[in-house]
Structure 1
Amino acid sequence: MLAGIALAAGLISPAFGFGAARSPAPASAATRSGTSVVEWNRELITILGDPKAQPATVQPTRSFALLQAAEYDAVVSITRSGPAYKFSVPAPRGARPDAAAEQAAHDVLVALYPAERAGVDQRLSSQLSAIPDGPDKQAGMTVGATVARRLISLRSHDGSSAKSPRFRPGDKAGDYRPTPPDFPTPVFPNWGSVKPFVLTSGRQFRPAPPPAVSSAEYATALNEVKNLGSKTSSTRTPDQTAAAKFWAAAPVWNVWNQIAQNLVTSQIASLDRAVKVFARLDLSLADTTIAMYDAKYAYHVWRPVTAIRLAATHYNPHIVGDPHWTPLVTTAPDPSYPSAHAALSQAAATTLTGFYGARHHLAVTSRGTTRTYASFQEAATEAWLSRTWSGQHTSIDNRAGRQLGFHVADFVAGHL
């Protein structure tokens, strides 16, 4: 399965900028620290740590995209260091781009999470206190507020608040149905119809239909999960078990945002650089999420735990059923094809490789455990392989997911 590293690495294109730059920014503006961008990103992760922060029907990647797109447009409205994502706001000469980023981030988070206003207000006050008072600071704040207001307004009717239709599970072989042990209602069945941030539609890069569950190809892929992904597997190695639990411990979009935080901080990135990295990363993750859910609910493929437990129905003679089979990690409540970890991790790895190169050592920490990788691609590859080791996905799901994530990230990089 590790041959996938070479395959996926060959998909990556060397996109290093955020589009053709316009007139260069003054050195003082271009070199201001991107630390505050990292701090606002952390603030959002903290907010999302409260399960009551937003409705369970709203996918968190939308919030990351709004936050980072607002900071990016606020900064480049002043520095003119790249094309706007959506809005280029007029700014007087000397306006402070750091003040613009602070105000834009604050206003987006307050709009999304009004109950968190006190903490967000406090962070803004702390951040702005480091910027000298005066008309330049005020001009930057006005730019940030304007961008945030326009962006929130633009996304207010993107379909993210639409009520999902009642999910009706299928009863044919291969049809998705809720999974044990609690058989929860599927999540985000309508998210594929949310308006993308950059893509033309959620189905723009929809993967081809998966092979039939009666096929030999499906049997090979499922039997691999049955052997490696069982809670009591004797063929999964201790390191594979550790990796499976590591990548299941926290939302995968949080993990990749934290990787970006470490990169921006360790390299003492400028403000311009920081907003570019986070904007492209989170717009890619948001649109990959939309595209991934479009495909999941277009094909409604059942999860491995269902397929293995129902194999006695003889839908595929090459699969021996086990009505008591249990995965290492509890199955996520949505269809199997394509894999979310594969799609999102490939989108993130493609984006970050474009900025930092194909070989970049990184240490990734999740819930107190640290794992190290020689490249972004190596981390992404382990992320998707871990879903087979945890009993969540077949290699068919993973292959479709990583192709989808690459195509979305490549498209985003070419349109910003």
Structure 2
Amino acid sequence: MKSVKSLLLFLFAIPFIFGCEEKHDQAGLDKFSQSQLVVWNRHLSEIIIKDIFSPPVASRIYSYPNIAAYEALAPAYPAYESLSDQFNGLSEIPQPDTTKEMYLPVSSIIAFSTVGKKLILDELKMEEYEVEYLARIKEIGIKEEVLNNSIAYGRQVGEHILAWAKQDGYVETRALTRHVISKKPDTWQPTAPDYMPAVEPHWNKIRPFVMDSAAHFKPRMATAFDSTTTSDFYKEAMEVYDIVKHIDEEKLLIARFWDDNPNISYTKGHVTYFQQKLTPPGHWVSITSSAIRKNKLSMMEAAETYVMVTTALADGFISCWDAKYAYNSIRPDTYIERYIDQDWDPILQTPPFPEFPSGHSVISAAAATVLTQKFGDNYAFADSTQLAIGLPVRKFNSFNEAAYEVGESRIYGGIHFRPACDLGAEQGKAVGNLVVSKLRTRKPEQTAKL
């Protein structure tokens, strides 16, 4: 009787024992993780919009978290290698402890979050996203020890990237003097409606990611300033003037689609209010995310793609801003009102920094060059980025076609002369090609097989 009772107790205990075993759903975790870098770049964009960062600063904010995510994930993929010896100033990345079981996709997201929250203003929002993410991971099923080890490694990589970021000169530029307005007739002047001071005049002091210096790809001089009606410069101004004066619906839509001004002001009576939108780098991160989703890239391929694109965007801004303040060129708004028609207004609000070269043209060409290398020259896609602000989807036959339209949009909007867009695109292509040639994500023996 005693032996029967003992047997029954053991049988009743079996479901209890197995019921206490930790759930670890590898397939579920892998499926969930595949899309997470797209999700987290969207989270980052939402915060950047609300925090109202300028385009150059936004490019910096996109780059470091994506590098951290890449580096934390790469050890799980033998074909990929660290970029520590390829980025300027980045020392060797801490490697995971092979004696501890980890799930590196979690480490990757934690590294992204760890870095991202220190570069933005709304840290609490990023922490909320992280809490939600970890709750979902636990719901799917992961061993507690594996989760804790993975989080710890992600934090370690994130802190390493943050230490590197702190040395790029950004903090020091916060204390530097404002841009001094020149009285020379060919120079940039603050423009309506807000007459804001020049944005980030010392951005060329930020350490580049792969370029040798901020002046690595300084564009050649644009058309020489001239106010006489027979000059080439005057003719370029007249092109902008006539396009804006007789703009059709398609050109107006293109101008607004690529506006990407992060903070537009509107005045009604005595009340001024602002609309926050994506920045130019945010728009290209959105395009990148769409391509990643469409092609169902693995998390590692997504990390690789984001690193390449955001590096091109970041160095594109450093290169462009160096040229902007070196040339300190007058905007169409100022020139046309002064020499052609004092009552003229551009379609778009003129951004508060010098005209040449066009920043959006530079970084769009840089991003398009990288994306073309990844997905091909005839990659047709639909850009739904601006649905959030009520603009329709635009379709393109290639990334380069989209980048070209960006340049045209700045002329249609009345905020750039043509050389700023054409020469800016050349500058951006050079930046993109450098990123493609210099950043080696795949190990040589693996690259040869691909």
TM-score normalized with structure 1 length: 0.84
- State the secondary structure of the residue aligned to 2:170: coil
The aligned amino acid for 2:107 is A
Partner of 2:364: 345
* Inter-partner Cα distance in structure 2 for 1:74 and 1:325: 53
Q: 1:88, CA displacement in angstroms?
A: 3.5
Is 1:186 the counterpart of 2:209? The answer is no
Report if the CA contact (8 A) 2:93-2:160 is conserved: no
Report if the CA contact (8 A) 1:164-1:189 is conserved: no
Report if the CA contact (8 A) 2:55-2:280 is conserved: no
Partner of 1:103: 110
Partner of 2:37: 37
Relative to structure 1, is the Cα distance of residues 414 and 138 closer, same or farther in structure 2, using a 3 angstrom cutoff? farther
Q: 1:377, CA displacement in angstroms?
A: 0.9
Partner of 1:400: 423
Partner of 2:273: none
* Inter-partner Cα distance in structure 2 for 1:224 and 1:294: 27
Partner of 1:3: none
Partner of 1:15: none
Is 1:306 the counterpart of 2:334? The answer is yes
* Inter-partner Cα distance in structure 2 for 1:327 and 1:297: 22
Partner of 1:16: none
Q: 1:57, CA displacement in angstroms?
A: 9.8
The farther-off stretch of 64-73 and 403-412 is 403-412
The aligned amino acid for 1:50 is K
| Identity score, percent | 25
Q: 1:346, CA displacement in angstroms?
A: 0.5
Report if the CA contact (8 A) 2:365-2:403 is conserved: yes
Q: 1:328, CA displacement in angstroms?
A: 0.8
Is 1:152 the counterpart of 2:162? The answer is yes
- State the secondary structure of the residue aligned to 2:258: helix
Residue by residue over 1:141-179, the C-alpha shift from the partner in whole angstroms, topping out at 9 and shown as x without a partner, is 333222111110111131212223122211222111111
Is 1:296 the counterpart of 2:324? The answer is yes
Partner of 1:217: 232
Residue by residue over 1:195-247, the C-alpha shift from the partner in whole angstroms, topping out at 9 and shown as x without a partner, is 1122121111111222211283323322211111x3xx22x332111100111
Report if the CA contact (8 A) 1:91-1:139 is conserved: no
Q: 1:58, CA displacement in angstroms?
A: 7.0
Is 1:253 the counterpart of 2:281? The answer is yes
Report if the CA contact (8 A) 2:110-2:130 is conserved: no
Relative to structure 1, is the Cα distance of residues 306 and 272 closer, same or farther in structure 2, using a 3 angstrom cutoff? same
Partner of 2:128: 119
Partner of 1:316: none
Q: 1:288, CA displacement in angstroms?
A: 0.6
Map 1:79-98 to 2 at 5 A.
79-86=77-84, 87-93=92-98, 95-98=102-105
RMSD of aligned Cα (Å): 2.4
The aligned amino acid for 2:194 is D
Q: Which has the higher contact order (CA 8 A, sep 6+)?
A: 1
The aligned amino acid for 1:343 is V
Map 1:19-34 to 2 at 5 A.
33-34=33-34
Is 1:359 the counterpart of 2:378? The answer is yes
Residue by residue over 1:98-125, the C-alpha shift from the partner in whole angstroms, topping out at 9 and shown as x without a partner, is 1221211121123224343541332331
Relative to structure 1, is the Cα distance of residues 237 and 244 closer, same or farther in structure 2, using a 3 angstrom cutoff? same
Report if the CA contact (8 A) 2:178-2:198 is conserved: no
Residue by residue over 1:272-297, the C-alpha shift from the partner in whole angstroms, topping out at 9 and shown as x without a partner, is 10000111101110111111111101
The aligned amino acid for 2:291 is L
Partner of 1:413: 436
- State the secondary structure of the residue aligned to 1:145: helix
* Inter-partner Cα distance in structure 1 for 2:296 and 2:204: 37
* Inter-partner Cα distance in structure 2 for 1:404 and 1:175: 21
Partner of 1:238: 249
Partner of 2:390: 368
The aligned amino acid for 1:153 is A
Map 1:373-388 to 2 at 5 A.
373-388=396-411
Relative to structure 1, is the Cα distance of residues 127 and 277 closer, same or farther in structure 2, using a 3 angstrom cutoff? farther
Partner of 1:76: 74
Structure whose alpha-carbon radius of gyration is higher: 2
Relative to structure 1, is the Cα distance of residues 347 and 126 closer, same or farther in structure 2, using a 3 angstrom cutoff? farther
Is 1:61 the counterpart of 2:59? The answer is yes
